[in-house]
């Protein structure tokens, strides 16, 4: 698994990496993440100098540029606090991808250390804090999309466990559940027709189970699938896991 050898959780203070997509498109996901973490008794620290995890340049093959961004991230998130990310892909970049591009670099140890204390949100809640059930209520039939980057981690199982534990949620599995949504970052730009075809196939399977909402722990997947569905005149409601957890708390007054 990508997250083996994790740094144990010993306190109640965390750093939040909001990600580029929160900054540009999904500010409510960042807000919901803060509310969820504070509900769990965590003090949330937001380093103002944060930018990006380095994944776009890494995926594009420009590892020199990516290493510059990752080094900035290491400096920005200095210390020993857990770094919580509402994104499976960004968490995987720091815990796995970054170590690959730093294999021959003198500061590999610093990169690995940051990766070991970086957690995707659901993974942190379930596997870091040991929270197995979520309070509150959310009345909806939910289709949960597992992103490619969360494979090999505890994120997918953690997210589905939390969703299944919420009163009112009916989780609907759908066909080709492990299939990529087609976004793939720069892949969607370089190969737009293939990307759209992959997204349409995913949407076909999702629509077959008629969910009220499509949920994922990755905003990039939601942006891609939601955008395709809207463009095709068949919009589908999308929510990040953090928003569902936050809304469940608010509906029951548990927040």
What confidence score (pLDDT) does residue 139 get? 97
Judgement on whether residues 123 and 65 belong to the same structural domain of the protein: yes
103 and 19 part of one domain = yes
- Residue 148: pLDDT band with limits 50, 70, 90: confident
Residues 18 and 114 in one domain: yes
Tens-place pLDDT, residues 15-65? 999 998 888 889 999 999 999 999 999 999 999 999 999 999 998 899 999
CATH assignment at residue 192: 3.40.50.11810
Please check whether residues 141 and 244 belong to one and the same domain.
Answer: yes
Q: Please indicate, yes or no, if residue 6 is contained in any of the structural domains.
A: no
Instruction: Let me know whether 109 and 212 are in one domain.
Output: no
Task: Please choose, from the candidates 104, 240, 219, the residue with its C-alpha nearest in 3D space to the C-alpha of residue 162.
Answer: 240
Residues 52, 119 within the same domain? yes
Q: Which of 42-56, 149-163, 207-221 has the lowest mean pLDDT?
A: 149-163
Three-state helix/strand/coil letters over the chain: CCCCCCCCCCCCEEEECCHHHHHHCCHHHHHHHHHHHHHCCCEEECCCCCCCCCHHHHHCCCHHHHHHHHHHHHHHCCCCCCEEECCHHHHHHHHHHHHHHCCCCCCHHHHHHHHHCEEEHHHHHHHHCCCCCCCCEEEEEEEEECCHHHCCCCHHHHHHHHHHHCEEEEECCCCCCCCCCCCCCHHHHHCHHHHHHHHHHHHHHHHHCCCCEEEECCHHHHHHHHHHHHHCCCCCCEEEHHHHHHHHHHHHCCC
- Residue 191's domain comprises 137-252
239-248 pLDDT, tens per residue? 999 999 999 9
151 and 222 fall within a common domain: yes
Domain boundary among 128, 159, 185: 128
| 159 and 109 part of one domain | no
Last residue of a domain, one of 91, 109, 128: 128
Is 141 in the same domain as 123? Answer: no
Closest CA to 160 of 36, 48, 244: 244
Q: Are residues 27 and 111 in the same domain?
A: yes
Same domain, yes or no: 122 and 141? no
Domain count for the chain, please give it.
Answer: 2
Q: Distance between CA 106 and CA 115 in Å, rounded?
A: 16
> Where is the domain boundary, 128, 160, 181?
128
Residue 25 lies in a domain: yes
Given a contact cutoff of 8 angstroms between Cβ atoms, the answer to whether 146 and 222 are in contact is no
Whole-prediction pTM value? 0.94
Q: Which tens digit of pLDDT belongs to each residue from 51-101?
A: 999 999 998 899 999 999 999 999 999 999 999 999 999 999 999 999 999
């Amino acid at each position: 698994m990508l997250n083996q050898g994790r740094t144990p959780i010993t306190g109640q203070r965390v750093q939040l990496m909001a990600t580029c997509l929160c900054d540009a498109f999904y500010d409510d996901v960042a807000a919901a993440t803060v509310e969820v973490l504070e509900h769990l008794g965590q003090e949330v620290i937001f380093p103002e100098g944060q930018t990006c995890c380095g994944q776009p340049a890494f995926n594009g093959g420009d590892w020199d540029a990516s290493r510059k961004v990752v080094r900035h991230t290491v400096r920005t998130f200095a210390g020993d606090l857990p770094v919580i990310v509402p994104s499976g892909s960004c968490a995987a970049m720091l815990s796995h991808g970054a170590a690959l591009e730093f294999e021959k670099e003198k500061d590999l140890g610093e990169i690995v250390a940051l990766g070991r204390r970086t957690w995707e949100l659901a993974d942190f809640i379930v596997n870091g804090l040991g929270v197995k059930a979520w309070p509150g209520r959310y009345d909806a039939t939910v289709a949960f999309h597992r992103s490619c980057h969360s494979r090999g981690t505890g994120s997918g199982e953690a997210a589905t466990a939390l969703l299944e534990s919420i009163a009112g949620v009916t989780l609907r599995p759908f066909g080709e559940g492990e299939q990529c949504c087609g976004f793939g970052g720069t892949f969607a730009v370089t190969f737009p027709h293939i990307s759209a075809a992959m997204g349409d196939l995913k949407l076909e399977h999702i629509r077959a189970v008629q969910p009220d909402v499509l949920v994922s722990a990755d905003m990039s997947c939601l942006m891609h699938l939601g955008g395709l569905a809207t463009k095709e005149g068949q919009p589908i409601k999308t929510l990040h896991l953090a928003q569902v957890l936050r809304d469940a708390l608010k509906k029951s007054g548990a927040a």
